[in-house]
Structure 1
């Protein structure tokens, strides 16, 4: 008998819904979240809801999960210390950004510029260059790459980002540095811009990859703990996480590209509201999702949620699809 389990972890509570795909029967459970390790709260809920339904965790085929772990890491400033490796001459890319200040003259005076997720002292450059057609203009300077990685290792960075000019057309140089980084710092996750966001516009690509790196250790540890605890409980089904745009991604991909689940929790509220609206015959709806950390609102017309290319979390705006 096939069961599906939906789990939404918020800042205060963890909510679970167990659904029997054959009979349509369902069970609900709410349990306090455990911010120090959200997987503990989830397992408490899994054990309780399985007991209520009289089923074993082994009987659950699909575990569908929405989480605010990545969201909270950004909002609370608990992301990892990121070491950034860029092309020679582009060391200030995160500081210069787009030189954009919102509002009129008053905003220029009082607006506090957000602190970059990769500090200037943790940003290093490496020689080598690809042109806009993806052709190698200058070979990668392996010696300078090793020196840069050695410096970042001494700095104690917890995650590495590699973002080179025109890497979206040819990521060979990034891949080489990534391989060196994994060899020199095997326990530090490495994010390459041509894998995270293979698009032009150097700042947006770098920012998005840095954000991915910043939350990767937090999300990786969380998912690893969750998979381990679920396995101990007897779960052998498929674990999927909700993306910011309302779709699903595998747990492994979520560990590698957590920037795509920055708004996972809020997207779940919108997706659920769409289902309710459709079945209730209501086409225009306003959703309100109040959590322990943040409140999210979405306006939906004709049951068509608006999807945007930018995910915004606090002052952070990265190039990743999400529900508006």
Structure 2
């Protein structure tokens, strides 16, 4: 017999349920308020409440934990999320006025770096590695993630990849490249997609780590 613990962190409540994986039967369920300021509090209350309904021998049958959330959607709608850095390669500053990019960026730092490619995939200018290093030195300790968008990166992602490798090495931050998420030719729209993704990384990372810590401290050996 194997049990599965399912967790769903919503904007208002965090739900926990344990089911029997063999027959789909509901074994136990619990609910706790979601604590956005510290997700571990609400998650911990829900997890402990549902686990406490199991007999001691049943706890050893918990083999898998599944996590879902609407916090990412809520964060996008509400403009929440971590402080990020945006790197625009080969774009003019006027690109911030397109596709609501500037409003979504808010007061977070942005660097306009020489480089990028033409429509045929050939470089329009060499990538300014010194500017990337300066950006990393100035903001690396103050941001939770970085989004990178290169001019026509969907035709040639070389400069996005080079910038990603340098910035990751310099800052240790998670990095989102626009060509990995979208095939859109429009640079500002791709940049917005990368920005929103990067902004959510810290939020989701905290949720996953909090869940893992609580499960481990509860003595549950589950995947």
Query: Scaled by the length of structure 2, what TM-score is found?
Result: 0.83
Partner of 1:9: 9
Q: Which whole-Å CA distance do the structure 2 matches of 1:25 and 1:47 have between them? A: 20
If each structure's strand is expressed as a fraction of its own residues, which one has the higher value?
1
Q: Which whole-Å CA distance do the structure 2 matches of 1:71 and 1:231 have between them? A: 28
Corresponding pairs, count? 220
Unaligned runs of 5+ in 1: 99-113, 239-324
Q: Which whole-Å CA distance do the structure 1 matches of 2:106 and 2:36 have between them? A: 27
- Determine if contact 1:8/1:16 at 8 Å carries over to the other structure: yes
Partner of 1:73: 75
Q: Which whole-Å CA distance do the structure 2 matches of 1:120 and 1:30 have between them? A: 36
Q: Which whole-Å CA distance do the structure 2 matches of 1:125 and 1:190 have between them? A: 17
Confirm or deny that 1:135 pairs with 2:122.
yes
Q: Which whole-Å CA distance do the structure 1 matches of 2:106 and 2:121 have between them? A: 29
Confirm or deny that 1:196 pairs with 2:181.
yes
Equivalent residues in 2 for 1:48-87, closer than 5 Å: 48-54=49-55, 55-56=58-59, 58-87=60-89
- Determine if contact 1:197/1:208 at 8 Å carries over to the other structure: yes
- What is the root-mean-square deviation in Å for CA atoms of aligned residues? 2.6
- Determine if contact 1:91/1:123 at 8 Å carries over to the other structure: no
Equivalent residues in 2 for 1:275-294, closer than 5 Å: none
Aligned partner (choices 191, 194, 200) of residue 206 of structure 1:
191
Question: 1:31 deviation in Å?
Answer: 2.4
Give CA deviations for 1:47-81 in whole Å, capped at 9, x if unaligned: 2222323221x532332222132233334443222
Unaligned runs of 5+ in 2: none
Give CA deviations for 1:203-254 in whole Å, capped at 9, x if unaligned: 221111011112222221221222222222234434xxxxxxxxxxxxxxxx
Q: What is the SS of the residue equivalent to 2:151? A: coil
Q: Assess, with a 3 A threshold, how the Cα gap between structure 1 residues 5 and 88 changes in structure 2: closer, same or farther.
A: same
Give CA deviations for 1:85-126 in whole Å, capped at 9, x if unaligned: 11234323232327xxxxxxxxxxxxxxx9622247722211
Give CA deviations for 1:13-66 in whole Å, capped at 9, x if unaligned: 22222111224431222223323222332232222222323221x532332222
